[in-house]
Amino acid sequence: MTRRAPGRLVFVRIAGLIALGLVIGLLGSFVQADRSILPLPWGQVVLPWGMILAVVTLVLVIRGASWLIASRAGGWAVFVGWLASTVVMSAESPSGDLALSGGGRQMTYLLGGVILGAAAATFPVFARSSHTIKAKSTTSEPTSTTSEDPQH
């Protein structure tokens, strides 16, 4: 039986998280454009649910990746993948198409993703529960044999 080096496992996890960030950026570039228009008595309200869903998903996956790796490196790996994919999707293709144009929702998606994604990747990682029960200590602390009575 051959043991793998822990460094290799971490490398594979980081590479997988970068790929996950690439996929989130690719999908988010298209999903962010979805919106619902709600007719109200005084006018219409546009609910940009696609942009909200994409940014919330990004933040949750970044925090989950940090927890999975037990290091901020996991979150930064997802964030770097998302950022690379988003930059590529915001560039003009040879045919002149854009997945991310210069509209308000798109700018909110880009800036919100960068600000909230970087913040989520920077937050400290909380320790996972080890699910073990610690045995009570059998040694008791020494007690003082002299009593300190304030009246004496």
Q: What global pTM score does this model have? A: 0.74
pLDDT value of position 100: 82
The pLDDT tens digits along the chain (152 residues) read 566 556 788 889 999 999 999 999 999 999 998 889 999 999 999 899 999 999 999 999 999 999 988 889 999 999 999 999 999 998 888 888 888 888 888 899 999 999 999 999 998 887 666 665 565 555 555 555 555 555 65
Pairing status of strand 43-47 against strand 36-40: antiparallel
pLDDT value of position 133: 58
**CA 96 – CA 122 distance, rounded (Å):** 36
**How far is CA 73 from each of CA 4, 5, 9, 117, 124, rounded to the nearest angstrom?**
21, 18, 14, 13, 11
